[in-house]
């Protein structure tokens, strides 16, 4: 794969319905997932788990990129092959999470702003040398009756834009992730309003920083009801409101939108993506960048046992294929059995 420009890299990741496997959980998050299946979160176990995912046959043709955590991009498989080479051999590109997590916002301590601009240029240079072609930075926007504040949205989108410019200067594609959290009792209309404001601010900031939009990937939330809301929007309503929100706020030159699953079940995340692609009428690829919604069935099948590896790989391969079909608007629930 001779992908030389930012545009070529970004387009490749979302070509033909391909999407992204998010395997960039921090060690504490990975620990929680392992706790749920009774597996100790050691460096070796984390490596074995991710190696198992990256060797699944369904990675090929369905996954265009894999986001890694700092530990993983440096690891070798059990047979000594660098994990980045396993990913490359499956026809996918290596990505890396580069933010340094969340800190309380001074003006509004219940809100957060993402850290990590200090030293980012040096980290990017090292990650390029380790084989990374794209990067990820996550901003978090919470919804309640009183938040988000304009300051929170502005500070996070400004940081995302500064990050994106540094990454592009190092010839990697930035994924910008302005996640409006599902947590809460809010309506889908409230999520729509906050997501719209966040995306409008993000693209204004990206423009201000001189970021090349055609060499950028957006990783947004879908527009949904709050997870604790008594009235939950239908699949079709989520699809329609999300597409409308994107059409109003996302420039046409962006190559791809790869949604986060954000606490949705694996099948719900697929159904929503499929419904959006069946609506159509947008200029960018609509695809997936799922962590839990791709991995959860695999994790449950694996249970840390060698004899379950092929079952776990089959589970990942199935979800990767289902989501590729959804990214092409060609999924239906009957394919799940």
Q: Is the peptide bond before 148 cis (omega within 30 degrees of 0)?
A: yes
pLDDT, position 68: 98
Q: ∠ CA 189-143-14 to the nearest 5 degrees?
A: 75
DSSP H stretches of helix in the chain: 6-13, 27-35, 43-54, 70-73, 83-89, 120-129, 150-169, 188-208, 235-249, 266-279, 292-302, 309-327
SS3 content of the chain, % helix, strand, coil (to 5): 50, 15, 35
Q: Which of 18, 97, 133, 219 is catalytic?
A: 219
Please give the C-alpha separations between residue 68 and each of 26, 93, 169, in angstroms, as whole numbers: 9, 11, 20
Query: 307: which DSSP letter?
Result: G
DSSP H stretches of helix in 110-257: 120-129, 150-169, 188-208, 235-249
Q: Which of 25, 177, 285, 324 is catalytic?
A: 177
pLDDT, position 2: 76
Task: Point out the residues of the chain with pLDDT beneath 70.
Answer: 1
Please give the C-alpha separations between residue 223 and each of 131, 236, 263, 328, 333, in angstroms, as whole numbers: 34, 11, 13, 20, 21
Residue recorded with tokens 């080479």 = 85
In order of start, what are the domains of the chain with their CATH numbers?
Answer: 6-336 (3.20.20.70)
Q: pTM score, two decimals? A: 0.97
pLDDT, position 285: 98
**Contact yes or no for 7/253 (Cβ under 8 A):** no
pLDDT, position 1: 63
Task: Return d(Cα 33, Cα 39) in angstroms, integer.
Answer: 9
pLDDT, position 337: 85
Buried b / exposed e over 111-141, threshold 16 CB at 10 Å, is bbbbebbeebeebbeebbeebbbbbbbbbbb
- Catalytic-residue membership of 244: no
Q: What is the dihedral of CA 164, 169, 174, 177, to 10 degrees?
A: -10
- Give 259's strand partners: 288
pLDDT, position 294: 97
Task: Return d(Cα 113, Cα 58) in angstroms, integer.
Answer: 36
- Catalytic-residue membership of 177: yes
Task: Return d(Cα 292, Cα 84) in angstroms, integer.
Answer: 21
Q: What is the dihedral of CA 38, 42, 44, 50, to 10 degrees?
A: 60
């Amino acid at each position: 794969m001779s992908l030389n420009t930012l545009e070529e890299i970004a387009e490749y990741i979302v070509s033909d319905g391909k999407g992204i496997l998010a395997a960039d959980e921090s060690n504490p998050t990975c620990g929680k997932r392992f706790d749920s299946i009774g597996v100790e979160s050691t460096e070796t176990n984390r490596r074995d788990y991710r190696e198992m995912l990256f060797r699944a046959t369904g990675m090929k043709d369905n996954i265009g990129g894999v986001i890694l955590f700092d530990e993983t991009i440096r690891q070798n498989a059990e047979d000594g092959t660098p994990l980045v080479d396993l990913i490359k051999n499956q026809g996918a590109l290596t990505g890396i999470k580069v933010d340094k997590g969340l800190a309380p916002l001074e003006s509004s301590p219940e809100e957060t702003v993402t850290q990590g601009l200090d030293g980012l240029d040096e980290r990017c240079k090292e990650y390029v040398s380790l084989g990374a072609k794209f990067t990820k930075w996550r901003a978090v926007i919470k919804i309640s009756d009183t938040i988000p504040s304009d300051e929170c949205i502005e500070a996070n989108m400004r940081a995302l834009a500064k990050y994106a410019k540094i990454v592009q200067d190092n010839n990697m594609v930035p994924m910008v992730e302005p996640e409006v959290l599902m947590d809460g009792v809010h309506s889908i209309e409230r999520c729509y309003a906050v997501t719209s404001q966040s995306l409008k601010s993000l693209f204004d900031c990206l423009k201000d920083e001189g970021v090349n939009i055609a060499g950028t990937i957006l990783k947004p939330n879908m527009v949904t009801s709050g997870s604790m809301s008594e009235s939950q929007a239908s699949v079709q309503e989520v699809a329609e409101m999300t597409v409308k929100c994107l059409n109003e706020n996302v420039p046409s030159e962006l190559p791809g939108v790869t949604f986060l699953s954000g606490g949705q079940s694996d099948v719900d995340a697929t159904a929503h993506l499929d419904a959006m692609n069946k609506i159509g009428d947008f200029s960018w690829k609509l695809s997936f960048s799922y962590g839990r919604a791709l991995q959860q069935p695999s994790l449950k099948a694996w249970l840390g046992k060698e004899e379950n590896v092929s079952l776990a790989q089959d589970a990942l391969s199935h979800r990767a294929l289902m989501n590729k079909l959804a990214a092409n608007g060609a999924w239906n629930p009957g394919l799940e059995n």
